Structure 1
Amino acid sequence: MAARFEVRHQTGKGYHFVLIAVNGQVIATSEHYESHRACLDGIDSVKRNADAPIQDTTPPAPIRAADRRGTAQALRMAAIAP
């Protein structure tokens, strides 16, 4: 079984869709749309654009002391490599 999109309706909020993984968990939820057609168009847009690159705008995590030692060792090994 493959992942699937599911269209849902909430009174007073309109339509939205969820993307459900093969294990049954919701992995994405859309904004709310006023019409069913607009919701289906939103699904089509996700399908067309799903092969997009990742742009991570979060700040980098601080480097722990243990990681710094590992990085220093890796740099030393690279320096002596032929």
Structure 2
Amino acid sequence: MNEAMHPLPGVARQPEDARPPRRTRGRPPARLRRAEEKNWLGEGEGINLTLTFLRAKRDETQRRTRRPAVDLAIPKARIIPSTPKAP
């Protein structure tokens, strides 16, 4: 896709070398290796940050599954005594 075919007018496409190729999209370790090879510091930092976040999220999920569930019971309806009406 060239500049003329870009969906937003006036926006230039990045050169092919500046973007990760399709075969590495969605595969963080492969993207990280490519970013290091191409010396894309921001890309590598972003991937590392994402991986750190995902590992922390996984650890938190595993930790929560080991904790016993708390039984909060089903709430019961309160019966409010009726007050006598004034004459």
Question: Same fold judged by TM-score > 0.5?
Answer: no
The TM-score bracket by the shorter chain reads: under 0.3
Which structure has more RCO (C-alpha within 8 Å, separation ≥ 6)? 1
TM-score, normalising length: structure 2: 0.23
TM-score, normalising length: structure 1: 0.24
Structure with greater Cα Rg: 2
Q: Hey, which of these two has a bigger chunk of helix by percent? A: 2
